[in-house]
Chain A
Amino acid sequence: VRVFSFFNVSPVQWLVQVGASAGKALPQRVKIVEVGPRDGLQNEKTLVPTEVKIHLIDMLSEAGLPVIEATSFVSPEWVPQMADQVEVMKGINRRPGVSYPVLTPNLKGFQAAVKAGAAEVAIFGAASELFSKKNINCSVDESLQRFEEVTKAAKEAGVRVRGYVSCVLGCPYEGQVSPDKVAQVAKRLYSMGCYEISLGDTIGVGTPGGMAELLEAVSREVPVDALAVHCHDTYGQALANILIALQMGISVVDSSVAGLGGCPYAQGASGNVATEDVVYMLHGLGIQTGVDLPKLMDAGAFICRSLNRKTSSKVAQATCKL
Chain B
Amino acid sequence: MGNFPTTVKHCLSYEELIQDYPWLARWLQEEKLALTHEYPEYVKIVEVGPRDGLQNEKEMVPTGVKIQLIDMLSETGLPVIEATSFVSSKWVPQMADHTEVLQAIHRSSHVRYPVLTPNMHGFQDAVAAGATEVAVFGSASETFSRKNINCSIDESILRFEEVICTAKQRQIPVRGYVSCALGCPYEGPIESTKVAEVVKRLYELGCYEVSLGDTIGVGTPGSMAKMLHSVKKEVPSSALAVHCHDTYGQALANILTALQMGICTVDSSVAGLGGCPYAQGASGNVSTEDVLYMLHGMGIKTGVDLSKVIEAGDFICKALNRKTNSKVAQARGDNSMHCRMKKINT
Chain A residues near B (Cβ < 8 Å): 1-3, 6, 11-12, 14-20, 22-24, 170, 172, 175-176, 203-210, 223-225, 233-237, 239-240, 242-244, 247, 263, 265-270, 274, 277, 280-281, 283-286, 313-315, 317-320, 322
Contacts and interface: CB of A to CB of B under 8 A. Distances in A.
Interface in B239-256: 246-250, 252-253, 255-256
B333 A207 contact: no
B21 A11 contact: yes
A223 B3 contact: yes
Contact of B34 (A23, A281, A315): A23
Nearest to A225: B3
Contacts, number: 189
Contacts of A247: 37
Interface stretch (B12-20, B110-118, B230-238): B12-20
A280 B12 CA distance: 42
Contacts of B21: 11
Contact of B221 (A12, A210, A243): A243
Given A19-B28, A207-B294, A314-B249, 15 more contacts: A15-B28, A20-B1, A22-B36, A172-B341, A175-B341, A205-B341, A208-B294, A210-B297, A236-B290, A239-B250, A268-B336, A270-B330, A283-B220, A314-B246, A322-B280
Contacts of A318: 217, 247-248, 276, 279, 282
Contacts of A223: 3
A244 B256 contact: yes
B344 interface: yes
A300 to B, nearest CB: 13
A11 B17 contact: yes
Interface size class of B (residues with CB under 8 A): 35 or more
B281 A265 contact: no
B104 to A, nearest CB: 33
A19 B345 contact: no
Contacts of A263: 331, 338
B282 to A, nearest CB: 4
A244 B248 CA distance: 19
B148 interface: no
A41 to B, nearest CB: 21
Given A12-B27, A235-B293, A315 B248 contact: yes
Contacts of A18: 4, 9
B253 to A, nearest CB: 4
Residue of B1, B341, B344 with highest tally of chain A CB at under 10 A = B344
Nearest to B297: A207
B221 A19 contact: no
13 contacts: A20-B32, A235-B328, A236-B287, A239-B252, A265-B337, A266-B332, A270-B327, A284-B219, A284-B220, A314-B246, A314-B248, A318-B247, A320-B281
A280 B249 contact: yes
Contacts of A20: 1, 32, 35
Interface in B287-346: 287, 290, 293-294, 296-299, 326-328, 330-333, 335-338, 341, 343-345
B149 interface: no
A177 to B, nearest CB: 9
Query: Which 10 A-B pairs rank lowest in CB-CB distance, beginning with the nearest?
Result: A284-B220, A207-B297, A23-B35, A314-B249, A236-B327, A266-B336, A209-B298, A277-B249, A236-B290, A239-B253
Nearest to A226: B3
Contacts of A12: 24, 27-28
B204 to A, nearest CB: 31
A273 B14 CA distance: 40
B250 A281 contact: yes
Interface string B188-222: 00000000000000000000000000000101111
B330 A268 contact: yes
A3 B17 contact: yes
Nearest to B295: A207
B179 interface: no
Contact of A265 (B4, B17, B282, B338): B338
Contacts of A175: 341, 343-344
Residue of B14, B246, B331, B343 with highest tally of chain A CB at under 10 A = B331
B291 to A, nearest CB: 9
A204 B29 CA distance: 33
B181 to A, nearest CB: 15
B8 interface: yes
B299 A267 contact: no
A269 B336 contact: yes
A235 B327 contact: yes
A234 B327 contact: yes
Nearest to A317: B282
Interface string B258-290: 000000000000000000100111110001001
A18 B12 CA distance: 12
Nearest to B283: A314
Nearest to A25: B1
A322 B281 contact: yes
Given A3-B12, A20-B35, A240 B253 contact: yes
A234 B338 contact: yes
A271 to B, nearest CB: 10
Contact of A317 (B9, B36, B283, B296): B283
Contacts of A242: 253
A11 B221 CA distance: 34
A205 B344 contact: yes
Nearest to B339: A266
B248 A6 contact: no
A10 to B, nearest CB: 10
A319 B280 CA distance: 9
B3 A224 contact: yes
